[in-house]
Structure 1
Amino acid sequence: MTCGSDITTKGCCTPASERDVPVAQADSGVHSASEVSSATLEGMIALPGGSFLMGTDYAEAFPADGEGPVREVTVDAFRIDRYPVTNKRFAEFVAATGYKTEAEQYGWSFVFWSHVPKDRFYEMVEDTVAAAPWWCKVRGAYWNAPEGPGSNVLKRGDHPVVHVSWNDAVAFCQWSGQRLLTEAEWEYAARGGLEQKLYPWGDKLRPNGEHRCNIWQGEFPKVDTADDGYAGTCPVEAFPANEYGLFSITGNAWEWCADWFDTAFHRAATAATRINPKGPPTGTGRVVKGGSFLCHKSYCNRYRVAARSSNTPDSSTSNMGFRCAL
């Protein structure tokens, strides 16, 4: 199969869905604690904010992504979801509102090739991405049918919801009374109080030989040995939380942030604009952070805390989700 005109690559691990018919983009919104249910607040952690060193000058980083230079950034106190939004929580939103995700509106989403049933592959896959043929355009794939028709999330209620676009994530936030994190808030939270470490727990990917996140093991994209116990998404509590008590902050599923993506905007920042930075005023892609179960050092070493990527706001894949802030 060859790449269709509406399929491109954007960033490293997530293909962009350049749809033929645009859907109006939502406003990221700001809410106060008084507008949020007690159940939602109970699932959040209050962080004090403060100054930290954002970015990295790590030798194996991706300078073209705008990971560096290291700079001091300050964020105000905020609340953050302990977990990424799960299938169970997203189902509550859908049940309450009747919301249809963009994948449902357009009728398709991107699924990783080995997750499509082998006996139905040529029936289900309409197209693949030329530059990344492991990404398949699957008609009928969406959050509640993540591998396409015939699949479901009945036993994955505690997995991060995927196949949600940035616009879908913002719509959820408008319902829940929350908002998406800025990239600076996300990185501050993910670091868990540690300074300039590669991962939320330190500099070793597997301290004492233990897996700390859900990423790819084996030969990408052909063989996933699933040595960490998972060959796709996993429960959000499958691995230990960071020092701030946040689970699944790296690996598992990419997390949408509020900011437009730019590789150089922060280089021109002043001391004043490094206080609660929100990224550039416009752009074509939104920031995603944290990596996913498909990240592997040989191809996409972006499960590091400072790593970053992007995708268009209407794109959806089987490895992109989100968490909320307040």
Structure 2
Amino acid sequence: MKNKTYWIFALLTISIISIAYGFTKLGVSKEKKEVAMDCAETPNTTEASAFKPTIENKNKPTGKAPKGMVWIPGGEFSMGSNVEDESLCSIKGVTKDAAPIHRVYVDGYYMDQTEVTNEEYEKFVKATGYITVAEQKPTKEEFPTANEEDLITGSVIFTPTPSAVNLNNFLQWWRYEPNTDWKHPEGPQSTIKGREKYPVVHIAYEDAAAYAKWAGKRLPTEAEWEFAARGGKTGNLYAWGNSLKPNGKFQANIYQGHFPIKDGDTGEDGFKGIAPTGQYAPNAYGLYDMAGNVWEWVNDWYSVDYYKSLAESGQTAKNPQGPDAYNDPTDPTQIKRVHRGGSFLCTDQYCTRYMVGTRGKGEIRSAANHLGFRCVKSK
């Protein structure tokens, strides 16, 4: 089964690279079994003055917003992150793909208040007969070195470790699980019954785009996603402000406790693992879960230096659609688009990409149990 292990881990790697790539090359000492736990409440940042005021458009649409959506006025804002460290716990990570901060303008649009749920996705599947990537048998074209018997439908699942591990090898806490998909999110014996209001997961990019087209919507651009997440505010660390826990209360479903060990998530935010949508206060635009719970696909190709090219133009980018091609020097053969928002597995020990200006990335035909989406609709 050596070939099976090889191609499964290849799939796994590109699925979750968005939250792990900053650490695979850190060279953490092999003698250490866990990361340093010297955690800060707020991250180190460069000059806050890099953020200039957000200028919202004043025009409003006539009529009511589509069901389940809210109006995002658009306007001009400072996009990106000035955070220097990946985690809050003494780890120097890689957030350079979210810098430099640059000026962007977006037109107004509607956005789903929540991540697309299981019941919403089920309506789409029943209406169209759509089959997600995770339900499709992998092909020899995709994995030419795999044996035919190893080409099995499935997806990637977070698997806690029995004890503390070195955090420089994320393959220790992920596994490829056969016959796992959006209907069976934790494995073939699991079900979405009773989880109708949970975000749909195990969704590849094309699965999200297909739903959006059926619904008469589209996936947001990365700029639209960040403008909406910021809620009209300027330069905040989080979708709700600058404190992770205002008044001592968590505002998003993220990971607390010792990552990634079994029963390590203490659930101080109210949930151990994924949560139903809309369990925390919305941001200033009425959007729920713009941080944590599940990563969200956006439409842009991922390019590590895209923000740099926009900033160097010296102009305010108007309705940017992302780069013309993908570019990830750490994994140049994989076709990637951007993820946003972090997930229930983001932790101050390892990945704090629930911070509003930071980015993730994922191979377009890969999925996992911490990855979903939401849609937008032009006026």
TM-score (norm. length: structure 2): 0.73
Instruction: Call closer, same or farther: CA 1:39–1:114 in 2, change over 3 Å.
Output: farther
Q: Out of 71, 84, 95, which is 1:59 matched to?
A: 84
Q: 1:42 & 1:287 partners in 2: Cα distance?
A: 26
1:206 to 2:252 alignment: no
1:250 to 2:279 alignment: no
Q: Out of 13, 23, 26, which is 2:19 matched to?
A: 13
- Confirm or deny: 8 A CA contact 1:50 1:74 kept in the other structure: yes
- Confirm or deny: 8 A CA contact 1:253 1:293 kept in the other structure: yes
Q: Out of 300, 314, 319, which is 2:365 matched to?
A: 314
- Confirm or deny: 8 A CA contact 1:14 1:317 kept in the other structure: no
Q: Out of 104, 109, 117, which is 1:78 matched to?
A: 109
Q: 2:349 & 2:323 partners in 1: Cα distance?
A: 31
Kindly provide the amino acid, as one letter, of the partner of residue 75 in structure 2. G
Q: 1:47 & 1:225 partners in 2: Cα distance?
A: 35
1:245-280 alpha-carbon deviations (Å, 9 max, x no partner):
001111000000000011112212235571111111
Q: 1:13 & 1:165 partners in 2: Cα distance?
A: 16
Kindly provide the amino acid, as one letter, of the partner of residue 247 in structure 2. N
Secondary structure of 2:76's match? strand
Instruction: Call closer, same or farther: CA 1:63–1:112 in 2, change over 3 Å.
Output: closer
- Confirm or deny: 8 A CA contact 1:215 1:296 kept in the other structure: yes
Q: 1:64 & 1:291 partners in 2: Cα distance?
A: 13
1:68 to 2:136 alignment: no
CA RMSD after TM alignment = 2.3
Q: Out of 230, 233, 237, which is 1:194 matched to?
A: 233
Q: Out of 224, 227, 238, which is 2:265 matched to?
A: 224
Q: In the alignment, which residue of structure 1 is the partner of 2:349? A: 298
- Confirm or deny: 8 A CA contact 2:85 2:95 kept in the other structure: no
- Confirm or deny: 8 A CA contact 1:166 1:313 kept in the other structure: yes
Aligned residues: 292
Q: Out of 98, 122, 128, which is 1:97 matched to?
A: 128
1:279 to 2:322 alignment: yes
Kindly provide the amino acid, as one letter, of the partner of residue 280 in structure 1. P
Q: 1:321 & 1:226 partners in 2: Cα distance?
A: 21
Max Rg structure: 2
User: In the TM superposition, what is the alpha-carbon distance from 1:131 to its structure 2 partner?
Assistant: 4.0
Q: In the alignment, which residue of structure 1 is the partner of 2:185? A: 146
1:233 to 2:274 alignment: yes
Kindly provide the amino acid, as one letter, of the partner of residue 101 in structure 2. V
Q: 1:325 & 1:167 partners in 2: Cα distance?
A: 16
Q: 1:39 & 1:170 partners in 2: Cα distance?
A: 25
- Pairs within 5 Å for 1:107-122: 107-114=153-160
Q: 1:138 & 1:130 partners in 2: Cα distance?
A: 19
1:267 to 2:308 alignment: yes
- Which is worse superposed, 262-271 or 299-308? 262-271
1:123-158 alpha-carbon deviations (Å, 9 max, x no partner):
xxxxxx964221110001100100111101111111
Q: Which runs of 5+ in 2 are unaligned?
A: 22-62, 87-92, 138-152, 163-167, 327-334
Q: 1:216 & 1:249 partners in 2: Cα distance?
A: 15
Q: 1:274 & 1:156 partners in 2: Cα distance?
A: 40
User: In the TM superposition, what is the alpha-carbon distance from 1:13 to its structure 2 partner?
Assistant: 3.0
Q: Kindly report structure 1 stretches of 4+ aligned residues shifted beyond 6 Å.
A: none
Kindly provide the amino acid, as one letter, of the partner of residue 258 in structure 2. E
Kindly provide the amino acid, as one letter, of the partner of residue 134 in structure 2. A
User: In the TM superposition, what is the alpha-carbon distance from 1:48 to its structure 2 partner?
Assistant: 1.2
User: In the TM superposition, what is the alpha-carbon distance from 1:323 to its structure 2 partner?
Assistant: 0.2
- Confirm or deny: 8 A CA contact 1:214 1:230 kept in the other structure: yes
Q: In the alignment, which residue of structure 1 is the partner of 2:70? A: 45
Secondary structure of 1:311's match? strand
Secondary structure of 2:210's match? helix
User: In the TM superposition, what is the alpha-carbon distance from 1:320 to its structure 2 partner?
Assistant: 0.2
Structure ranking higher in strand proportion: 1
Question: Percent same amino acid among aligned pairs?
Answer: 40
Q: Out of 214, 233, 237, which is 1:175 matched to?
A: 214
User: In the TM superposition, what is the alpha-carbon distance from 1:72 to its structure 2 partner?
Assistant: 1.1
Instruction: Call closer, same or farther: CA 1:65–1:166 in 2, change over 3 Å.
Output: farther
Kindly provide the amino acid, as one letter, of the partner of residue 19 in structure 2. C
Secondary structure of 1:13's match? helix
